[in-house]
Amino acid sequence: MEVKTLVLGPMGNCTYIVRQKSEAVVIDPSWDMNEIEKNLNGLKVAAVFFTHGHFDHVKDVEPFLRKLSVKAFIEENDVVLSGLPRDILQPFEGDSKIKAGGFDMEILHTPGHSEGSVCIKIGNNLFTGDTLFPGACGRVDLPHSNPRKMRHSLYRLSSLQEDTNVYSGHGYGDNGEADTTIGKEKESNIYMRNAVKDYKKGA
């Protein structure tokens, strides 16, 4: 399995192309569809996912989805937030297991940054959108955000295997990094560490 990271648009959004043989899953396609199509290089798109519905993660995607004749998976709570027409979306609710082509995806519902935020696990790779960044977490001062739910989501992610590869929605880490591991975040991410501490105390 190969993961390709495309950093696109003025907000440094990360679009991910996950390749397996002649198929691909595309996560958070946004901003520059020509660049995304160029990097697909003829791969068959088995599925498209949004980690959440904020505009910078869905911008300009409608023509791309219609051209591919594929619908994008999104958690039901973020359908309206995305502003996209329902006929190009494939909503699901909460934790889910989704199979598309040769891919098996485990979806973890991780509200906090938005009500419909999810993390997408493919093999040992976890695509966290704006839930978890290297050394940080997503904003919780926006409409539809919830600090308490974010704390629970970070605690939940901390229970994953420490060698799980994390690919986040923006390069907000040191030196613009977007990738990390659960183990590194449990050790050095103050937001995750505090979430774990609070839940251990029963707070």
On the question of pLDDT at 203 being above 80, the answer is no
Q: Determine the average pLDDT of the residues in 175-190.
A: 92
pLDDT at 202: 63
Contacts of 199 (CB under 8 A, 6+ apart): 151, 152, 155
Q: For 83-94, what is each residue's pLDDT tens digit?
A: 999 999 999 999
Question: What CATH number does the domain containing 29 carry?
Answer: 3.60.15.10
Give this prediction's pTM: 0.95
On the question of pLDDT at 171 being above 90, the answer is no
Confidence band of 124 (pLDDT split at 50, 70, 90)? very high
CB contact at 8 A, 4 and 19: yes
Q: Determine the average pLDDT of the residues in 186-192.
A: 95
Torsion on CA atoms 17, 18, 21, 24, rounded to nearest 10? -60
Q: Determine the average pLDDT of the residues in 33-38.
A: 95
pLDDT at 173: 73
pLDDT at 125: 98
Question: CA 80 to CA 44: how far, in whole Å?
Answer: 28
Structural domains counted in the chain: 1
On the question of pLDDT at 108 being above 60, the answer is yes
pLDDT at 109: 98
Q: Determine the average pLDDT of the residues in 183-202.
A: 89
On the question of pLDDT at 184 being above 80, the answer is yes
pLDDT at 176: 79
Task: Give the chain's mean pLDDT.
Answer: 94
Confidence band of 163 (pLDDT split at 50, 70, 90)? very high
pLDDT at 81: 96
Q: What is the residue range of 25's domain?
A: 2-200
Q: Determine the average pLDDT of the residues in 117-123.
A: 98
- Percent of the chain surpassing pLDDT 90: 91
Beta strands 72-75 and 89-92 are parallel
Contacts of 201 (CB under 8 A, 6+ apart): none
Of 55-64, 95-104, 120-129, 192-201, the least confident = 192-201
